[in-house]
Structure 1
Amino acid sequence: MNTFVIGDIHGGLRALQQVLQAAQVTQGDRLIFLGDYVDGWSQSAQTISFLIALAEKQECIFIKGNHDVWCEGWLKEGLAPQLWLTHGGKETVDSYKDIDGHTRLEHLNWLERMPYYVVDEQNRLFIHAGFTSMHGPEKEFHSSNFSWDRTLWEMAITMDQRIKKDSLLYPKRLKLFSEIFIGHTPTLYYNITTPMQGCNVWNLDTGAAFKGRLSIMNIDTKEFWQSDPLWQLYPGEHGRNGA
């Protein structure tokens, strides 16, 4: 069995189907999704339906991202803050225009069941954004950090490589897990279009919400595959604005 980790999809179902095919994923493989399934391209509702069906065929782990929290609030209570609408929420609302009530409830239940993070049998952490507690996410005071925090990633990519893991100067957060896999912060912010590594942290958000590509990685070999740029898969659309 192979285990693959997938970055932020943002309603780009066509890109997801591309990378699953490119990586030759089979029903015997495990898939770990790092969140932000919605908001951006025109197929948010369709992406969720696809993922629900996919999980009936093979093992899938779905982590909740900040955009998924927004979508959950809208499906449950009709909450539609302007911040969400201007950062991809409008496209998500539009994608539900022809979706019936039963399916909307199914999507809401799927979002509500979703964990904010998972630790696997090899002590690898999968989380959408990060955490701030030096004692790990289970000791985090604000659960919103799981889907919003960027300090973990910023720390990892700016670490002085001369500081070794056995040093007292090495950040305690990074010692807690053998590896950490995140999304949330597009690598495009650093003019990089492929997955990035900082210390033992891997960032799989390669900007699919914007002008980038969706990425999937074999977590053992670190081999990865990418979709076409999303704007090419959705001609005439503009993707998402902002972070």
Structure 2
Amino acid sequence: MRTFAIGDIHGGLKALLQVLNQLEIREEDKIIFMGDYVDGWSESAQVVQFLMDFSQKFECIFIKGNHDVWCQNWLKNVNDVNPSWFLHGGKETMESYEGYSVEEKKQHLIFFENMPMYHLDEKNRLFLHAGFTSMHGVEKETFTHKFCTDRTLWEMALVMDKKIGLDHDLYPKRLKHYREIYIGHTPTTNYGESEPMNAINVWNIDTGAAFKGKVTGMNIDSKAFFQSDDLPALYPNEKGRNK
């Protein structure tokens, strides 16, 4: 069995399909999606529907991202539009739902509501959208919204990378709990990188799909990764989220 992690998608169905075609998923494989399925490009509702159908054929885990929380809240009450969400991709997501029935939107809402905030596998590898702050690990995190919003874990890993070993007294205690940690949320393109980044035992596979980057899928055992084209090339008549 192979395990793949797929980074932020942000409404880029064309990019997701490119990545899945390269991965050549087998029936026995597991695919862990790292969150932020919506907000950015024009096919957010279509991405959600595709993932729902895809999960009927393959073993999938869908981590919830902060944009998914926003979309979930809107689907729960379509008359209540979060202004911040609207300006950060929500407008495009709302437009992508035009033509979807009340029942279809209800099924999408259920899909979002059932998403876990993190996943810990049998090899002690942690998957979550953003990060956590508790030195005792995710199970002791008081503010669970940090699972899809925190950036300090990645920032800390970047600073600590290769400076000290795991057995050092100063090694961050929250990182010691897990063999590896996989995240999205903070685009590697923020650091001038178009590929996944690794710092200490943290792997960041958000390669900027919301903006001018790509969707990435990684085999977490071999660390081989596969990428889509840049999203603006796949959606040439759209702006995406400018940054």
TM-score range, shorter chain: over 0.9
**Superposed CA offset, 1:59-112 (max 9, x none):** 000000000000000000233111101100000000001111111000000000
Matches within 5 A, 1:97-176: 97-159=98-160, 161-176=162-177
Segments of structure 2 that go 5 or more residues without pairing to the other structure are none
Aligned residue in 1 for 2:207: 206
Q: What is the root-mean-square deviation in Å for CA atoms of aligned residues?
A: 0.9
Aligned residue in 2 for 1:30: 30
Matches within 5 A, 1:211-230: 211-230=212-231
Aligned residue in 2 for 1:18: 18
Q: Percent identity?
A: 59
Could you tell me the TM-score, scaled by structure 1's length? 0.98
Could you tell me the TM-score, scaled by structure 2's length? 0.98
Question: Counterpart amino acid of 2:166?
Answer: K
Q: Retained in 2: the 8 A contact 1:87–1:241? A: no
Q: How has the CA–CA distance of structure 1 residues 35 and 198 changed in structure 2, closer, same or farther, with 3 Å as cutoff?
A: same
Segments of structure 1 that go 5 or more residues without pairing to the other structure are none
Aligned residue in 2 for 1:177: 178
3-state SS in 2 of match to 1:144: helix
Q: CA deviation at 1:160?
A: 5.2
State how far apart, in whole Å, the 2-side matches of 1:238 and 1:28 are.
38
**Superposed CA offset, 1:149-202 (max 9, x none):** 000000001115231111111000110000000000000100000000010000
Q: Retained in 2: the 8 A contact 1:86–1:241? A: no
- Shift >3 Å, 4+ stretches: none
Aligned residue in 1 for 2:239: 238
3-state SS in 1 of match to 2:144: coil
3-state SS in 2 of match to 1:37: coil
Aligned residue in 2 for 1:55: 55
Aligned residue-pair number: 242
State how far apart, in whole Å, the 2-side matches of 1:162 and 1:47 are.
40
